[in-house]
Structure 1
Amino acid sequence: MKKILAVIVLIFIAANSIFGQTKVSGIVVDKLKQPVPYANVVFKNSSIGTVTNEDGRFYMESPNTYTILLITSIGFADKEITLSKTVNYNFTIELSEQQELKEVVIFAGKTSKKNNPALDILRKIWEKKKKNGLYQFSQYQMEKYEKVEFDINSIDSAYRKQKIFKGMEFIFDHVDTSKVTGKTYLPIFINEALVDVYGDNKIPKVKEITKASKTSGFDGNQQILSFIKDLYSDYNIYNNYIALFDKSFTSPLSRTGIDVYNYVLKDSAYIDKKWCYNIVFYPRRKNELTFKGDFWVNDTTFAIKKINMAVTKSANINWVKDIYVEQEFEVLNDSVFLLTKDYLMSDFAFNKKEKSKGVYGKRTTYYQNHKFNVEKPEKFYKEEVNFVDNEIYKKSDEYWEENRFEKLTKDEQGVYKMLDTLKNVQAFKQITSLVTMLASGYVNYGNYDFGPIFSTFGYNEVEGFKTRLGARTYFGPNDPWRVQAFIAYGARDDKFKYGFAGKWMIDKKNRIIISGGNRRDIEQLGSQLTITNDILARNYGSSAFFTTGSNGKLTNIGLTNAYIAIEPVKNLTFQTGVSYKTLESASPVFSLDYYTTLPTAADPAGVVKSTTTQSEFNIQAEYTPNRRTIAYGVERSIANSPYTTLFVNYSQGYKGIMNSDFNYRKLEVYYKQPIIIGPLGRTNLILELGKTFGTVPLGLLSIVPGNQTFFTIENTFSNLNYYEFVTDKYATFQWNHDFNGRIFARIPFMRKLNWREFVGVKAAYGSVSDDNKAINASGLLYTAPEDVYWEYNAGVGNIFKILRIDFSWRGNYLDVPNVNKFAVKASFGFYF
C-alpha cells in the first residue's frame, strides 16, 4: 500500500512540475491578416506579459498555470483567449478594430505629446530619479550573484545530424527551451560569480571584489569572461542612454525619450502592495537604436518596479537579432526601490530572419543583503594594478550549493557535467582551436604559437613579394615571460630579414617588466608620427600588397633596444630605456644622405654620409583611464574600446656613444579622446604634438604621415604621399565622427540598407629649421606645412555589414605636382 501511495505522490509531483507552468506563442494580426506590432500580451490577472515584435510575433512563459491570455493594442478591441492546455504554440490571434471609446483616451499610431497622462508620469520619473534606489545614500554595499550562459539556439533534427557534431551527439540530451523566444537551445558555456559590491556616491567610486567564480565550457576562461564583461557592460535604465554592444540606445526613461518613443498609459494595479501604473512604449521611427516594451512605476515615489524591453528588429545593429532586458525592483522601508534582478538576453545571428540559427548570450544578476552609509577610506577603492586570486576558482560544489542565490535547476546541473565531458572530445578541441586561431592570429602547437598569420605576406618595390614567418612561446595567457621572433624573405632583393625580442615580468604587483631585442628589416619611415621602438611591430607602409604611386622610399633599419617598464597605478605606465639604430636607404631611387661637412667655396662637394648611426635614451609615460585588459601576464590584450589615451615620449640622442652621429632632444605628445554623443553617434579627437631640438638628418626628422595604401589607417593623411611634408616641429589634429546610421535612417529608401555615415577633418602644421635644411644631401626638397595642410572626408560604413568606404578630398596645397586631390580608402571589420 505504501508503494502504491508513493507512486501516486510521485505522479502528483511530476504532474505539478510538468503542468504547473504555462507556455504560449503566436502571432497577432488584424482583419486583413497583417501583423500587429507592439501589441500588449499578458496572462490575465498577472503582471507577466510581453509586447509583440515588429512581425506581430510573441512568446511567453511562466512557472505558474494561467488559463486566459489577454491581448490589447491601440486602436483595437481587447481580446481574451482561453488556454485549454499548458503549452500552446503558434496561435494566430485576430484583433478587431475598436468600436467604442473607453474611459481612457486611446492613442492611435504616433501618440500625442500633449494631454498624454503617460508623459505626465514620465516627467515625474525624471524629477525623482536622483532620489531613488542607491542614489539616496552616501555609501552602499551589497552581494551580487551573476550567471552568464551562451547557448546554440534553434536546435532541430536537421541541425543535430550535421557532421560537425559527430562524436558529440550526447550533448543534445541537454536541449532546453527559452522562456523569452520559445526556441530550443543547447548550452555551451556557463559562468557563475559571487561578488561583493561597494560604492561611494560622494567620490564617486565603485569597487567589486569577486569571492568565487566557476566556469564550464571553453578553455581560456579569462579571455572569454573579459569579452563577456565588455559585451554585457553594466547599465542604468534611468540614464538617458544605455550602452549595449558598443552602441548608445535611447532609454525609454530618457529625457529625450518623448522624441523617439510613443508612450501609452495602459493599466494600473497593486504589485507587492504598492499601487503602480503600467506604461507601454514603442519607437516612433524605424532603424533607430530604441526599445519596445513596458514598465510598472510606483504612484508616489515614481520609482520603477518592473521593466521589460526588447530592442526593435529594425535597429541598426549587426549580428544581433534580439536583445531582451528585464529588471525587477523590491521595496525597502516602504520607499526605497532597489534593483534585485537584472536579466539580459541577446540572440547573436548572421541575419534577423525569424528561423535563422544563432547563439543566445544570457546574463542573470541578483542582488541582496544591502547595507548603507558604511564609509570606507578612499584608498579602499583604488584599483589593483595586476592582482589575481586563483583561489576564487577553486571553490567546492558544496560551497556553491550553500552560497549561490538561486539554485541550479536539474537541467543546469546536467549541463555542467556535459560541458566538462565535452572539453575532452577531440572534435570539440578542434573547433575551439580554430576559434582561438582566428581570434588571436596565432596557430598553437604545444607551448608555441606560430604567426601572426595575418602578417605572413606583403609586397613593396624593393623586396617584391615578401614572406614573413613568426613564432612565440605560449604556456598560457598569464605567462610571466615570453620570447618571440620572426624571419622574412624578399623575393626581389633576395635577402633575409629577422627580429627577436624577449620580455620578463620581474614584479607582478606593479608590473615591472624588462625587455630587449634586435631587428634587421626594411620599413617605411614616416608612416606614423608618434613612434615607439617596438622590435616586432608591423609596418603597413612596407607590407601593403597594393599602393598608390611609388612605395620605394624604404629604409634598411637595424634596431637594438633594452627597456624597463612599471605600472604604479592602474593604467598609468612609465617606461625608460636605451636604443641603438642604423638607418640606410634600401632603394637606389631614394636617399637618406646628409652632409657631415657643409659645402664651401674651397670644397663645393662637402662630405656626405649615407648611413645614420644613433644611440638614444628614451623615457615615456602612457595613461589610459577606463581601459580594461585581459590576463595578468607579461603581455595583455585589450578588452574594451574606445578609451582615452595620453602618451608622452622624451628622447635624447648622444653623439659619440657607440659611434653615434648626433646630439638632439625630441619631445612627442599623443592624445586621443573618444566621445559618445548619445543618439548622434561617436566622435574621435586625436591631437599630436612634437619638436626636435638640435640638428638632425632626414632619417631622424618627423614626417607628416601619408597613406599610399588603399586602406584607412588611423593617424595618417589619406591624400598625402610618403615624405611629402618634412618637419622638426609639428602639430596635427584629426576629428572623425560616426553617426551610426542616424541620417540614413530618416531616408525611406535607405533604411533597410542599415548603412552608417562618417565624416572627418584632418589638419597638420609644421616647420623645419634652416640648419636641418642645410645638412640635407638626400636630393629631397624639404617642404613643411607652414600654411596648415588640411583634408576632409566622408564615408559610408556597414556595407554588407563588414565594409567601409571613405572618400577624402585635399583642402589645400593643390598646386604640388603629382598630388592626390581625391582618394578612396576602404576598411574591413566586424562591428555591432
Structure 2
Amino acid sequence: MVSQTKVSGVVFDEQDNPVPFANVVYVGSNEGTITNENGRFYLESEKTWDKIKVSFIGFTEKEIALTSRVNYDMKIILAQEAAAIDEVFIYSGKTSKKNNPAIDILRKIWSRKKQNGLRQFKQYEYDKYEKIEFDLNTIDSALINSKLFRGMEFIFDQTDTSRVTGKTYLPIFVNEAVSKVYGDNESRKEKEDLLGNKNSGFNENQTIIGFVKDLYNDYDVYENYLKFFDKTFTSPISRTGIQTYNYVLADSAYIDNKWCYNIIYYPRRTNELTFKGDFWVNDSTWAIKEINMQLSKSANINWVKEIYLEQEFDIVNDTTFLLKRDYFLSDFAFRKKEESRGLYGKRTTLYDNYAFNQKKDKEFYDKEVYYYDKDVYNRGDEFWEKNRKEELSADEKGVYKMLDTLKTVKKFRNLYNLGSVLASGYWEFPSLNLDYGPIFSTFGFNEVEGLRIRTGARTYFGQNDLWRTEGFLAYGFKDEKFKFGISGKWLADKKNRLIFSGGYRQDVEQIGASLTTSRDVLGRNLASSSLVNTASNDKLTSIRLTNFAVEIEPVRNLKFRTDFSLRSLESASETFNLEYFTDASETTTKADLTQTEVVFTTIWEPGKKTSGFGVERRVVNEWFPSFFLSYTRGLEGTLNSDFEYDRLQFSFRKAIRVGGFGQLNVSTEVGKTFGEVPLALLSPVPGNQSLFSIFNTYSQLNFYEFVTDEYASVQLEHNFGGRIFSRIPFLKKLNLREIVAIRGVIGNISQENIDLNRPAFENLRFIQNDLPISTLTSQDIAPTAEPYFEYSFGVGNIFKVFRIDVNFRGNYNDLPDARSFGVTGSFGFFF
C-alpha cells in the first residue's frame, strides 16, 4: 500500500525558538502528530491531503497548503496569541492543575475506567493477529556501498519510509501470529492458544520468536504504569499523571458519530520515563477512542532512541469501547543522535470477533499444553489469507523472499553464525549436530589451579530436542590436574515435562559462595575462577559429584524434583582443610568426606514464560517471583556415606517495579541443618572476594568468615532509575542511575557442630588472640549475637554499561582481616 502524503519540518515562534509539543494535523482529518522537544515533526498518511494545521495553546492557529504529495523540511512560524478565544484557557510551559478543563476530563476518565472495555464482562474471548517486524533504518548510499553489504546489495530493493520518523528503512525480519485469547475477570485467568505462526527465516526457532515477542508486552493505557523494556513508564491516563504531565484541551470533533475531546499532554520534567502525545476521549462514556504516545527524548533509557505507540478503540455500543488496533514502534540505536543508524522494531496487533460471558471450566485455564505442534509453524498460504486481518505491504512480502535468498549467501551465513555465538555462547556445527562451548568459560583463574582452560560441547539437533548430552574437559596449569564432567537429560513425557537426568563431575569448587548447594554436575560459580580477588581465594574444595534426578511439572511453573547424589569432598589447598573428629575422645581426625544424599525440591515460579518445547527451555520474561523449598536427607552407610542428617531450606526472590520510583530486588533465604555434620556440609555465609557486584552475596565478607547450621538472610537492592539524579542540573544529562542496598544475615551453630569441626576451624579466622580451641562458642563462628549487615551506594548506567558500588561493612569490624570498606562493579547491557 503506497502512502499518499508526507510532511516534515520544524515549528518556530517569532523569536526563532523551536515550539515543542505543538499539534500538527491534516486539515479535515484526525491524523496528526506532536512536535518533539526540538520542534521537529514528521507526518505521513495513506490518503491524499492538501493542507496541514499547526496549533499550540498561546499561539495563533496556522494552516499551510501542501503543494505536492511530499513536503519535507518545512519551516513553520507561529505567532503569539494576545488573548484567549471563546472560553479556551491559555497555558504555556507548565500548565495549571487548577481550573484546567483537560484535568477535569482526566478525572472523569479515572472514575469510569473500570466500566469500559473488557473489565465490565465476567468472561471474554477474541481473535488476535500480531505482526512483528524488524527494520534496519537510516539507509543511505554510504551504507549501501559499504563493505559489510558487498555481495548482498539486492536486499536494498525492499527499502521504504517510516510514517512516524520519515527515515528510510529496510525490513529484515517479519513474524506473524494468529491466536485465540480467552479470559475470566472473576478468576483473573487468561489463556492464549496459538493457531499459526510464520516468520522470515526462523519458522521453528521459538527462542528468537519468544525473545522478540517479550520485547513488546501487552499493555493497558488505563493502568497507572506501563512496562516496556524492563522499565516502568508513567501512563498519561494514570492518576499520577497530574504530577508528571502537562495537559491541554486542544479540540473537539465527531469520531465514528461520537463527540470526542482532544487532549494534548507533554512531560513536566526531563529525564523521566514519560511520553508526549494526545488522545481523544468520548464525552459521555469517558472512554479513550484514540491515543498516541511518543517517548520523551530525554527519557533515561538506553539503546532506544524512539518509542511510538498508537491505540484505536472500536465502538461496540453506547457503553463499550474495545481495543481494535495497537501499533508499537521502537527505534533501537547505540546513540540518540538524529542521524545515527539503528534498528526499528514494530508491532501491529489487531483484535476482532469479541464474545462475552461464555464461562469455561476452571480446568480450561489451568491445563497447559506443552506439546510442540510443528504444523502451527508451517501453515500454508490459504490459512494466512483467511486469518491475516491486515494485508502485508509490498516490502513486508518481499522480506520473506529476500531472506530465503540471503540464506544462500556465504557472507550472510557467517554473520548469522557470529550473532548466534554471541547470543547463545555456543558455536554451531550443524553437520555434526554438535555445539562447541560455552566459549565464555574457556579461561579462568584461581590460586589452586592457577590459569585454567576449559573446552566443552553439547549435542544439538534442534530447538525442541527431547534429549541432550553435554560435557567439558579442563586443565589447571598450577595444580597440573585435569577436570571433567558429563551429563545427560531426557524428556520422557511432554505433557507433564517428566525429565530424567544424570551425570558426573570431578572439579575444584568454591562451595562457600552460596547458601544453597548446587546439584548441577556441570555448574561452576564465579567465586571459583574470578581473575582478581580482594583477599586470598585459597579455601577451595576438590569435589567428585555423581547425581541422578527426576523432575516433573504437573502444573505450569510448579516443578517437583528428586535428586540422588554421591559426593566426595576434600580440601584442594594446603592452607585450607576440612578435617573433623571421628571419635568421642577427639583424638582421631579425617580430612575427606563421602556423602550420599537424597534431595526433594519444590520450585514455584508463577508468571514465568518460556520458549521451546524440548528438554531445555529458555526463559523469555522477567519480574516473576521464585519460591524454592528443599529437604535434604543424608544417608549414613549408603555407598559408604559418612553422615546422617536432615536439612530444610527455603528461598524467595522477586524483582518489584515500584511505580515510577524504579525497581526493588528482594531476596530472602532461611535454612536449618539437623544433626552433626562437618564443615563441608555446613552453611557458610556467602562471601564475595571478587571485584564484581554479585546479588545474594556479601561484598565485605571473606569466604568462610561466618559458618552456620541455621540461618536467615535478607537482601534488598533498589535501583531508582535516575529519578534523583534527573533533578540535579549538572547530572541529569548523564542519565546515571542511583542504587542503594542493604544486606543482613543472622545465624547460629550448635555446640556439637563446633566440637566436631575444631580441627577445620583452626585454619579459619575463628582461632584468635591465642584463645584455646576448646573455648569456641557460636558467637565466635556465626552471626549469633547480632545480625551481620552491610550497605552500599551505587551509580549505574555509566557510559550505559558500567555500574560501581561503594560497600560498607555495618558491624563485626573487629574481626581479623575484616574489610570495612570496598568497591565492586559490574557491566551489562540494560535498557
TM-score under structure 2 normalisation? 0.96
Decide which of 158, 163, 170 is 1:186's aligned counterpart: 170
Tell me which amino acid in the other structure corresponds to 2:255: I
**What SS class does the counterpart of residue 47 from structure 1 fall into?**
coil
Instruction: Identify which of 284, 287, 305 aligns with 2:268.
Output: 284
Q: Which residue number corresponds to residue 137 of structure 2?
A: 153
CA contact (8 A) 2:203 2:378 kept: no
Which position in structure 2 is the counterpart of 1:678? 659
Q: Distance in 1 between matches of 2:641 and 2:408?
A: 58
Question: What is the CA–CA distance in structure 2 between the aligned matches of 1:259 and 1:413, rounded to whole Å?
Answer: 45
Alignment of 1:70-85 (within 5 A): 70-85=53-68
Map residues 531-570 of structure 1 onto 2, 5 A cutoff: 531-570=517-556
Deviations 1:523-559 (A, max 9, x none): 1111000122111112211110000110011111111
Q: Does 1:328 align with 2:308?
A: no
1:697-731, Cα deviation, whole Å (9 max, x unpaired): 11110000000000011210001000000111111
CA–CA distance in structure 1, aligned partners of residues 284 and 506 of structure 2:
73
Q: Are 1:642 and 2:623 counterparts?
A: yes
1:3 alignment partner in structure 2: none
Whole-angstrom distance in 2 between the partners of 1:356 and 1:824: 35
Alignment-derived partner of residue 105 in structure 1: 89
Partner residue of 2:24?
A: 41
**Are 2:326 and 1:342 aligned?**
yes
Q: Give CA deviations for 1:729-762 in whole Å, capped at 9, x if unaligned.
A: 1110111111111111111111110010111111
Q: Deviations over 1:479-538 (max 9, x none)?
A: 111111111111111111111111111111111111111111111111000122111112
Partner of 1:733: 714
Partner of 2:436: 450
Q: 2:782 aligns with which of 781, 784, 798?
A: 784
Confirm whether residue 65 of structure 1 aligns to residue 86 of structure 2. Answer: no
Structure 1 match to 2:772: none
Distance, in Å, in 1 between the alignment partners of 2:358 and 2:752 is 65
- Per the alignment, residue 602 of structure 2 pairs with 621
Question: How far did residue 383 of structure 1 move?
Answer: 4.5
Tell me if structure 2 keeps the 8 A contact 1:742–1:756. Answer: yes
Structure 2 counterparts to residues 179-218 of structure 1, below 5 A:
179-218=163-202
Q: Which residue of 193, 210, 220 corresponds with 1:236?
A: 220
Q: 1:700 aligns with which of 668, 681, 697?
A: 681
Question: Within 1, Cα distance between the matches of 2:317 and 2:85?
Answer: 37
* DSSP 3-state at the match of 2:554: strand
Give the Cα separation in 2 of the matches to 1:486 and 1:219.
31
Rounded to whole Å, the distance in 1 between the matches of 2:829 and 2:367 is 31
Contact 1:530 1:669 in 2 (8 A): no
Match of 2:69 among 86, 110, 115: 86
* Structure 2 equivalent of residue 803 of structure 1: 802
Contact 2:204 2:377 in 1 (8 A): no
CA distance in 1, matches of 2:824, 2:367: 41
SS in 2 for 1:71: strand
Aligned to 1:666: 647
* Deviation readout 1:630-658 (Å, 9 max, x if unpaired): 21111111111132000111111111111
2:98 maps to 114
Q: 1:728·1:766 contact (CA, 8 Å) conserved in 2?
A: yes
Amino acid at match of 2:67: S
What letter is aligned with 1:79? K
Count of residue pairs brought into register by the alignment: 810
Q: Kindly indicate whether the alpha-carbon contact (under 8 Å) linking 1:385 and 1:569 is maintained by their aligned counterparts in 2.
A: no
1:219 to partner: Cα distance: 6.5
Paired with 1:368 and 1:481, the residues of 2 have a C-alpha distance of 40
Aligned to 2:353: 369
Deviation at 1:388, TM superposition (A): 2.3
Shift of 1:47: 0.6
Identical columns (%) = 56
Q: After superposition, give the CA deviation of every residue in 1:795-815 in whole Å (9 maximum; x if it has no partner).
A: 010111111111111111011
In the alignment, the residues of structure 1 paired with residue 455 and residue 418 of structure 2 have an alpha-carbon distance, to the nearest angstrom, of 19
- Specify the alignment match of 1:125 in structure 2: 109
- Structure 2 partner of 1:603: none
**What residue in structure 2 maps to residue 260 of structure 1?**
244
For the residue of structure 2 that corresponds to 1:171, the secondary structure is helix
Residues 302-701 of structure 1 aligned to structure 2 (within 5 Å) = 302-384=286-368, 386-446=370-430, 447-599=433-585, 606-701=587-682
Aligned residue among 752, 759, 771 for 1:771: 752
Distance 1:350 1:25 in 2: 24
SS at match of 1:547: coil
SS in structure 1 opposite 2:68?
Answer: coil
Q: Compare 525-534 and 211-220 and name the one that shifted more.
A: 211-220
Amino acid at match of 1:419: L
CA contact (8 A) 2:250 2:262 kept: yes
Q: Given the alignment of the two structures, is residue 723 of structure 1 paired with residue 704 of structure 2, yes or no?
A: yes
Q: Which amino acid in the other structure matches residue 783 of structure 1?
A: I
1:641 and 1:322 mapped to 2: Cα distance?
23
Tell me if the contact between 1:218 and 1:432 (Cα under 8 Å) persists in the aligned partners: no
- Deviation of 1:140 after TM superposition, in Å, equals 1.1
Does the aligned pair in 2 maintain the 1:652–1:666 contact within 8 Å?
yes
Distance in 2 between residues matched to 1:219 and 1:301, nearest whole Å: 43
- CA distance in 1 between counterparts of 2:367 and 2:308 reads 32
Task: State the superposition RMSD in angstroms.
Answer: 1.2
Q: Does structure 2 retain, via aligned residues, the 8 Å contact 1:146–1:366?
A: yes
Instruction: Kindly provide the amino acid, as one letter, of the partner of residue 804 in structure 1.
Output: R
Q: Is the 8 A contact 1:650 1:666 kept in 2?
A: yes
Counterpart contact for 1:802–1:830, Cα < 8 Å: yes
* Conservation of the 8 A alpha-carbon contact between 2:303 and 2:334: yes
SS in 1 for 2:781: coil
Equivalent residue, structure 2, for 1:762: 743
Alignment partner, residue 14 of structure 1: none
3-state SS in 1 of match to 2:800 = coil
* Deviation for aligned residue 1:275: 0.5
* C-alpha distance in 1 between matches for 2:821 and 2:57: 53
2:548–2:564 contact (8 Å) kept in structure 1 = yes
Residue 170 of structure 1 is matched in structure 2 by: 154
- Deviation, 1:420, is 2.1
Rounded to whole Å, the distance in 2 between the matches of 1:569 and 1:267 is 52
Report the Cα distance in structure 1 between the residues aligned to 2:482 and 2:518, rounded to whole angstroms. 24
Question: How far is the alpha carbon of 1:385 from its aligned partner?
Answer: 5.5
What is the Cα deviation at residue 423 of structure 1?
2.3
Letter in 2 for 1:49: G
Aligned match of 1:251 in 232, 235, 250?
A: 235
1:567 counterpart SS class:
strand
Query: How far does residue 417 in structure 1 lie from its aligned partner after superposition?
Result: 1.4
Indicate yes or no: 2:730 matched with 1:749: yes
The CA distance in 2 between the partners of 1:403 and 1:630, in whole Å, is 24
Per-residue deviation, residues 381-417 of structure 1 (Å, max 9, x unmatched): 1151523221112211122112211122333222221
Q: Give the SS at the match of 2:582.
A: strand
Structure 1 residues not aligned, in runs of 5+:
1-16, 601-605
1:67-123 CA-partner distances (Å, limit 9, x unpaired)? 111111232222211100011111111222223321211101100000000000000
In structure 2, C-alpha distance between the alignment counterparts of 1:247 and 1:341, rounded to whole Å: 23
